[in-house]
Amino acid sequence: MNVFQGRTIVLGVGGGIAAYRVCELARLFMKRGADVRVVMTENAQRFVTAGTFQALTGNPVLTDLFDLHQKAIFGHLETGKRADLFIVAPATANLIARIRFGMGDDAVTTSLLSSACPVLIAPAMNFQMWRNAQVQENVAALERDTRFAFVGPEVGTLAEGAVGEGRLSEPEDILEAAEALLTPQDFVGRQLVITAGPTREYLDPVRFLSNPSTGRMGFALAHAAAIRGAAVTLISGPVELKTPRGVRRVDVTSADEMFLAAKLAIDGADVFIASAAVCDQRPAKREDHKVKKEDFGDSLSLTRTPDVLHELRALYGEAAFPERPLFVGFAAETDHILEHAQKKLAQKRLDLIAANDVTAPGSGFATATNQLTILSREGQQSHLDIMSKEEAAHRFLDVVRARFPKS
């Protein structure tokens, strides 16, 4: 689901040193298929020129309300009318105050006043200014209005070298916040627990058993659920991925740790999705010191790890959803895909299982795409043809949502 495709995003650029980072933001939106329109305050142009944004976006830039040419091709009323989302970045203390009081004294504030779309404000200023009581009062007043949302500022090194809260959020984080504002909030009030990634089962401090899972599918599910309004706990094995915005992440290493973390998190959850590639065995003994190669025998003695999904489902016995969480599993297979998946669905007493052929091109471990067949306990089947894991995550969540009782 690409909510930016064909949408008009207006970037209202304020006069702060972070204005240069909005160039990157414009580029990110364009990459996602948005029509990006830039409006700038006079001070913003002291940091970045209108020409830079014009070249980047391929659209005229609005800077001067009284310039007849600008008015003719791209006036403030036109900008406001077109906008699907208005982003103010960097929002300076001055700009925030002017927005709060409904002033319309430059290109950014007048365009904002003439628009009716959601507004995302990304502040950036010195940390003492950000802490100032009047600034905070203006922010609080805007936050009370459902039309306005804030992203950041972040704690970090500020332009003048001081460390504090006041840095403009990363362009990727602003993009994610924007994505949530344009996405239907159909998971609000729902709690999801998702396991992701591989586990590692150590035999000594430097050697372990594991698998090639990168966690991408689970992280895509966590991201998709969070931007649709869910409260998400993501229990992740060792992976290289960034935590999606707004997601509570619990890092674990072994299957035992994943089981304990999941057992704690599942209390009160509406949905439990097990997308982790949990190791089914671990070495029977874990040595405290590195084992010398001559001390290894020819075989490794193994014991079973807990089946996280199966054991958690068993805790709820005969209870039916929604008196218990909805249980969703994955079946990573290399042969007899649907047969094996069907068997796991029944054995683990799941509500849904997503089967995937990990040997098919563009599917399975460490790929950007996936191809899934979702089976339900009632025998329904839906096939998600090859698509990005992000898109597959949204389609999968549609199937999950369809099982919620109608309210």
Query: Could you tell me the two tokens for 81?
Result: 């009318």
Q: How far is CA 159 from CA 11, 68, 129, 168, 243, in A?
A: 22, 36, 13, 11, 26
Q: Which stretch binds ligand CTP (CB under 6 A): 66-74, 114-122, 272-280, 293-301?
A: 272-280
Question: Which residues 6+ apart lie within 8 Å of 72 measured at CB?
Answer: none
Q: Strands (DSSP E) along 80-133, which ranges?
A: 85-91, 119-123
- Tell me how far, at minimum, the Cβ of 341 lies from ligand CTP, in Å: 8
Decide the pairing of beta strands 352-357 and 326-333. parallel
Decide the pairing of beta strands 231-236 and 248-251. parallel
- Tell me how far, at minimum, the Cβ of 310 lies from ligand CTP, in Å: 7
| Beta carbon nearer to ligand CTP, 137 or 311 | 311
Q: Under a CB-based contact definition with an 8 Å cutoff, are residues 27 and 52 in contact?
A: no
Asked if 309 interacts with ligand CTP (CB under 6 A), we say yes
| Beta carbon nearer to ligand CTP, 4 or 330 | 330
Instruction: Please pick, from the candidates 194, 222, 225, 255, the single residue that binds ligand CTP as defined by CB under 6 A.
Output: 255
> Strand order in 35-40's β-sheet?
35-40, 8-13, 85-91, 119-123, 148-150
| Beta carbon nearer to ligand CTP, 143 or 339 | 339
Q: Which stretch binds ligand CTP (CB under 6 A): 85-93, 147-155, 184-192, 273-281?
A: 273-281
Q: Which stretch binds ligand CTP (CB under 6 A): 13-21, 68-76, 202-210, 306-314?
A: 306-314
Q: What angle do CA 9, 10, 14 make, to 5 degrees?
A: 140
Query: Which residue type, as a one-letter code, is found at position 359?
Result: T
Residue with tokens 């948005």: 34
| Beta carbon nearer to ligand CTP, 344 or 389 | 344
The separation between CA 392 and the C-alpha centre of its own chain, rounded to angstroms, equals 14
| Beta carbon nearer to ligand CTP, 56 or 309 | 309
Distance in angstroms (rounded) separating the CA atoms of residues 28 and 30: 5
Q: Under a CB-based contact definition with an 8 Å cutoff, are residues 37 and 59 in contact?
A: yes
Query: Could you tell me the two tokens for 75?
Result: 């006036």
| Beta carbon nearer to ligand CTP, 37 or 344 | 344
Examine the residue annotation and report whether 211 is marked as an active-site residue of this protein: yes
Q: Under a CB-based contact definition with an 8 Å cutoff, are residues 85 and 9 in contact?
A: yes
Asked if 280 interacts with ligand CTP (CB under 6 A), we say yes
Query: Which residue type, as a one-letter code, is found at position 224?
Result: A
Asked if 307 interacts with ligand CTP (CB under 6 A), we say yes
For residue 62, the 8-state DSSP code is B
Beta-carbon neighbour count of residue 354 at 10 Å? 24
Instruction: Please pick, from the candidates 91, 278, 375, 392, the single residue that binds ligand CTP as defined by CB under 6 A.
Output: 278
Q: Write the binding mask 327 to 366 for ligand CTP: x where contact by CB under 6 A, - elsewhere.
A: --xxxx-----------x----------------------
Instruction: Please pick, from the candidates 276, 372, 384, 393, the single residue that binds ligand CTP as defined by CB under 6 A.
Output: 276
Distance in angstroms (rounded) separating the CA atoms of residues 226 and 150: 16
- Tell me how far, at minimum, the Cβ of 306 lies from ligand CTP, in Å: 6
Region 16-75 residues binding ligand CTP, contact defined as CB under 6 A: none
- Tell me how far, at minimum, the Cβ of 259 lies from ligand CTP, in Å: 8
- Tell me how far, at minimum, the Cβ of 363 lies from ligand CTP, in Å: 14
| Beta carbon nearer to ligand CTP, 148 or 259 | 259
Query: Could you tell me the two tokens for 41?
Result: 């305050």
Region 169-198 residues binding ligand CTP, contact defined as CB under 6 A: 195
Q: Under a CB-based contact definition with an 8 Å cutoff, are residues 177 and 245 in contact?
A: yes
- Tell me how far, at minimum, the Cβ of 317 lies from ligand CTP, in Å: 18
Question: Which residues 6+ apart lie within 8 Å of 32 measured at CB?
Answer: 2, 4, 5, 175
Q: How far is CA 279 from CA 206, 283, 339, in A?
A: 17, 11, 21
For residue 277, the 8-state DSSP code is B
- Tell me how far, at minimum, the Cβ of 312 lies from ligand CTP, in Å: 8
Active-site residue identified among 94, 211, 356, 370:
211
- Tell me how far, at minimum, the Cβ of 342 lies from ligand CTP, in Å: 12
Q: Which stretch binds ligand CTP (CB under 6 A): 9-17, 70-78, 229-237, 323-331?
A: 323-331
| Beta carbon nearer to ligand CTP, 225 or 332 | 332
Q: Which stretch binds ligand CTP (CB under 6 A): 112-120, 139-147, 201-209, 303-311?
A: 303-311
Active site residues: 211
Binding site for ligand CTP (CB under 6 A): 195, 255, 274, 276, 278, 280, 305, 307-309, 329-332, 344
